[in-house]
Amino acid sequence: MDRSRRSFLGQMAGVSFAAVSGGGFQSENRPNVLWLTAEDFCPDLGCYGNREVRSPNIDHLADEGIRFTNAFTTCPVCSPSRSAFMTGMYQTSIDAHNHRSHRDDSYRLPDGVRVIADWFRQAGYFTANVKSAAPGVTGTGKTDFNFSPSEPVFDGTDWNQRKAGQPFFAQINFPETHRVFKRNEKNPTDPSKLTLPPQYPDHPVTRADWAAYYDSVGFLDEKVGLVLKRLADEGLLDETIIFFFGDNGRPHFRGKQWLYDEGIHVPLIVRLPGGRQAGKVNDQLVSAIDFGATSLALAGIPIPAKMQGQAFLGPNARRRDYIVAARDRCDETVDRIRCVRTPQFKYIRNFYPERPYTQLNRYKETEYPVLRLMRRLHGEGKLTPVQMQFMAPVRPAEELYDVTRDRNELVNLAVLPEHRRTLGQLRGILDRWVVETGDRGATAEDASIPLYWEQQAKKNYDQRLRKLYEAEAMPLPEWLR
């Protein structure tokens, strides 16, 4: 037995190791833990019922693991979401809620809060942000934290750099479903055969955009398959707990950056060694801040006392009655939105209801062709009433949806007297959460920060946007003149 393993056993003496379905991992045979993270990705997979995508490898992973149907991130954009699930803390509690904040000011995490990799390292694990993921697969190495770690987060860039017999905690980041999408020229998705959500205009531009997204899902699936093959070839597949999930929801105009389910609902598949719970479908509510706590618990490592995440697998697993998510500044676009999601209802509070859904965000104006299409069709009076909702000049202060009957969250029940009780209950949950978790969203950033991001956005996108508007024969908006 190597020294690191003996040290771990000494530290962990008296600790009960996590058990799953009646069987636990022995301390002398600690499992590896691997996180496979897809960018900007909802549960758009065959195993989740979408027959318009090609995802045989991830579907097979679900057959061998547990497929969770109600997993949600705590933010609909990458950097706050990653700051949250990599610490097990709400981004709003640790001042990491504004997109790409604290990059240059040496901001440190609060006392008692650490990146998940640190807790694994302390327990004797080798930690890696994998770049050489498999032949033909290169991980991006993305972290995207809204804080400055006090020490390197990872020990290396591949689990093969660890000591003999040392277990690893590793992550691989897959960028395929992040814009800009890549079309499959050999076997493309047929745009004409797609089923579009009603809030999106049925138009060739929309169909082409969704087809490109689905093609990108196929490329993601191929790469996940190659990583799983590498694990099998190295004899590690049945020694490794695998988590597959998205960092936030899909990159369409009503998805990413918004608290509707298509902005925060992500796939979550957990494969346990030995075929434990293979093929099981679990409908409990899971927050992304629970990924770290669960990973630690399954590895037999105590969950830190200050961590807000909780284990959803293992002997001490806990179930959530609701999840909470938050959106704050994204790039130059200042906003504050909070939501509570239960198995049946979604409650959304817009803290700036006087601002439109489509307040200016140059990144989305440039990279989301359907958003520009919506603006054009709106000007021509060609949007349906459902599609018009997103183009309204103001927002309701509160939104309430029955997600079991209204999956696209299009019928706001907050104004109906028969839902007054539900509205009050969810409103109260959010009020308590804001206080109990120390939500820092009410504290405005220094005005120079949004101004800086506006200057960066102008520099990066204005010239491209002028060309796009001209190519699409659209008049330049006032802010672009």
Contact between 259 and 327 (Cβ < 8 Å)? yes
- Residue whose token pair is 């957990």: 270
Are the CB atoms for 392 and 356 separated by under 8 Å? yes
| Segments of 367-439 assigned E as strands | 398-402
* DSSP code for 240: E
Compute CA distances 176 → 11, 55, 184, 217, whole Å.
Answer: 41, 13, 12, 7
The tokens describing 4, both together, are 């690191």
Q: Where are the beta strands (DSSP E) in 262-407?
A: 265-271, 280-287, 323-327, 337-341, 345-350, 398-402
**What distances in angstroms separate CA 235 from CA 232, 379, 462, one per listed residue?**
5, 59, 51
> What own/partner pairs with CB < 8 Å and gap ≥ 24 does 387-390 have?
387/198, 387/199, 387/200, 387/201, 389/199, 390/199, 390/253, 390/254, 390/357, 390/358
User: Residue 321 carries which side chain, given as an amino acid letter?
Assistant: D
* Residue whose structure tokens are 């591949």: 158
H/E segment holding residue 19: strand 19-20
Please list the residues that pair with 401 across neighbouring strands.
346
Give Cβ neighbours of residue 297 (< 8 Å, ≥ 6 apart). Answer: 18, 303, 311, 313, 314, 316, 317
Strands (E), 195-310: 240-246, 265-271, 280-287
The amino acid occupying position 234 is E
Distance CA 156, CA 351 (A): 42
d(CA 10, CA 387): 61
Report the distance separating Cα 170 and Cα 155, nearest Å: 10
Residue 78 annotated in active site = yes
Q: CB burial class (10 A; 0-12, 13-18, 19+) of residue 149?
A: middle
Catalytic residue among 47, 78, 330, 339: 78
Contact 170, 129 (CB under 8 A): yes
Residues catalogued as catalytic: 78
